[in-house]
Structure 1
């Protein structure tokens, strides 16, 4: 028998507006599922049922009056790395447990004003400097519901777990080196990293703004609905811009012309080969794109990932150092994870010239990618080099090698953060063990609508089947 979480967010929104469903009914449904299932999944850090139901009731009053907002009545989770006024935000750190911000981050405010009902905060690694979410501020790690012995990746791991398991219809995420796309890959979801400046990071803490907030969803249409709400940068954003066309509409349409697409599966790292199923995911996508009339050509990666590996690792170290210094009182820094402490120790030894040289290396790497893709509308790669990894995988060779092991698995994603291009991870298929694989599409800067419409076309033409994990049916 069909349940409320079987409906897409777009279908739920239509039912809410048509009076066939109330926001309270929908919110209670997801809260019940969180209570029943999340102890095994590690999706949520904080859940506030009373606040969620109060907001759902207010939304129902507005719906009764015919007042419709873009996400009016849809439950959502906010990633724990982003401040929520009146709702505990730990930034994934035991050192900051119980911290309650007084103000929303910019994008969180947009989501609330669009009428979404915030049910809680989704699990993330400490300060977002890892692509896995261990049990730091939750009793269990964030795991993929397709195999609870494997991570749902990170840093938006809890958000992806929640959507894939039917604990949320859509979720807020963010992506500094792949942190929306790799969780989407691990959980058979759609994840979008927008172009730099489309979704605001203001006030920016660095001119090298590699991060971008974006949506996680089960369908392209749902992801585009949330992206449109988030895509309203304020005047003080260093990189802010707004699109000429509707992103929500792009999620329901197709490209208006054949696109030139370059693809590769080479990881760009010596000694790291993609899993055969990751290669298969790309090749089946190539076949589908050609059948749709797009011009598709295999190319070499425009730059070798290994040339920038050290700089990418240093970027994480600088980020960890800044966060630990600026946000954590000195007497609580012993509560930081071993990974964060190791990164902060590395970052503390870097001089000003070291940081400038790091920025220069990353800029050269990004420039090489942009030059190599100048003839193409879209680049196509796997999202990850293999399936979701077992718990403990990244720290198996010691804390000092975590960055190396993370890059080996997520090697296809960081460059799009450095170039500022839009990127989307799309599901491909499940292997014989039921593990998900995915592909990444990267578009031209500020051509987000074209990329979203291509993703919608691939979804419409059957690139993937909506095969749900066991938790979906519980």
Structure 2
């Protein structure tokens, strides 16, 4: 069975481990072999902890326990601390960093018995929606077309799961960083509501936008990770818990829901690619067939100059905070040109600049929240276009990167600003074999309902389980 182990879902692998159909060592070795064979051309991993993984797997085989993920191989995004395992934050300036402790959610996953096989690729400090850095040889690419980015900042996680190098992956999302990689790799990606999962380090703002979550091949696999990660630290200012497990919630279809649909980008001069519109239209039709009320609406708010400027300020502030906090001054020259650009933006800001930007983002977010007064779910594209070729975002120079990223990932950041739960689901492949996805956004803290809807769509065959060429090789 060894050659087919990666074809099993993560949930099926957990069940197989519990039944002792195969050992944790056998499963871990299978994934390590696939990583060794394929990762050089995919850029999924920053570090592979093969010896540690096999030792952890052996310990699990020798002393069986009840952890929810016991024996399941897992990758952790390289922005998050892992005790005893190199964590670079995607930066050459921190290439030799080995934390002494795990991040909060990372620790939950490891204590649940997950076997850490490595750290997945990410851009420096997670600041871009693609994954170039000076630590790895190449950015993460979608295994459906290795000349195109797998997006980011969780690009390595998505690449690994889509290529069968991991059964499921830990990821994070600050402006779409789970959802856009999931869309480029024909996967399920979940950004939870604010507070469901405690951040690894204290937020650098009272207006937090980033949260950890899963990238998976199935909704059930995503729920498996969410049930482990959704245990907020008691001191988390925004922490909360759902009233039941995700695994249980997805077993029952949701009540009939009111669903608003739009495909407008809200950005002047940027229109939707026809295949992204097709993805939304076929999903809307299926939702209607499932008994939900679906209606097309106008986008609640547009990306005007003040909002775009505010986002630039926000990212400059956050990157500057990270650089000033964790990068040694004598290693700052190793930062990438884009990080140095954002750091310069942040260094020139006043406190008033930051608060003014946050106020603008709050107004923008409020327009989207108000749209949920009589709506349960919003359905939109994930991206404005298919996965883009390597070099696309840098084509007009460093200062234009943030604008080109927004043009492509325009549909995702608002859900980070509102703190709402959002899920990216696969839709279809176009005639060139490129994947397209759709985004569903729920009411704040209605994560269980959102996942139940995602599972219903999966059960109704919204997407086919179509794998990239390396899957069966």
1:141 lines up with 2:142 in the alignment? no
1:371 lines up with 2:370 in the alignment? yes
CA offset at residue 303 of structure 1?
Answer: 0.8
Q: Is the 8 A contact 1:135 1:142 kept in 2?
A: no
SS for the counterpart of 1:394 is coil
1:53 lines up with 2:54 in the alignment? yes
Q: 2:460 matched to which residue of 1? A: 461
Q: Distance in 1 between matches of 2:141 and 2:332?
A: 27
Q: Distance in 2 between matches of 1:134 and 1:387?
A: 19
TM-score normalised per structure 1: 0.98
Q: Distance in 1 between matches of 2:469 and 2:141?
A: 13
Q: 1:3 matched to which residue of 2? A: 4
**Runs ≥4 in structure 1, deviation > 3 angstroms?**
none
Q: Is the 8 A contact 2:77 2:170 kept in 1?
A: yes
Q: 1:29 matched to which residue of 2? A: 30
CA offset at residue 315 of structure 1?
Answer: 1.1
1:117 lines up with 2:115 in the alignment? yes
Q: 2:357 matched to which residue of 1? A: 358
1:18 lines up with 2:19 in the alignment? yes
Q: Deviations over 1:116-141 (max 9, x none)?
A: 10101000000001000115211111
TM-score normalised per structure 2: 0.98
CA offset at residue 251 of structure 1?
Answer: 3.1
Q: 2:90 matched to which residue of 1? A: 92
Q: Is the 8 A contact 2:190 2:423 kept in 1?
A: yes
Q: Is the 8 A contact 2:382 2:439 kept in 1?
A: yes
Query: Which deviates the most, 245-254 or 194-203?
Result: 245-254
Q: 1:304 aligns with which of 287, 302, 305?
A: 302
CA offset at residue 253 of structure 1?
Answer: 2.9
Q: 2:154 matched to which residue of 1? A: 156
Q: Report the number of matched residues.
A: 470
1:188-203 correspondence runs (5 A): 188-201=186-199, 203=202
SS for the counterpart of 1:393 is coil
Q: 1:394 matched to which residue of 2? A: 393
SS for the counterpart of 1:308 is helix
Q: Is the 8 A contact 1:129 1:319 kept in 2?
A: no
Q: Deviations over 1:392-443 (max 9, x none)?
A: 0001001000000000000000000000000000000000000000000000
Q: 2:72 aligns with which of 64, 71, 74?
A: 74
Q: Is the 8 A contact 2:82 2:101 kept in 1?
A: yes
CA offset at residue 206 of structure 1?
Answer: 1.8
Q: Distance in 2 between matches of 1:194 and 1:28?
A: 31
Q: Deviations over 1:162-215 (max 9, x none)?
A: 000000000000000000000000100000000000011153332111001000
Q: Distance in 1 between matches of 2:340 and 2:364?
A: 27
Q: Is the 8 A contact 2:124 2:133 kept in 1?
A: no
Q: Is the 8 A contact 2:122 2:133 kept in 1?
A: no
Q: Distance in 2 between matches of 1:206 and 1:347?
A: 14
Q: Is the 8 A contact 1:181 1:383 kept in 2?
A: yes
Q: Is there any run of 5+ residues in structure 2 with no aligned partner, and where?
A: none
Q: 1:406 matched to which residue of 2? A: 405
Q: Deviations over 1:294-333 (max 9, x none)?
A: 0000001111123522211211111111111111111111
Query: Which deviates the most, 324-333 or 411-420?
Result: 324-333
Q: 1:184 matched to which residue of 2? A: 182
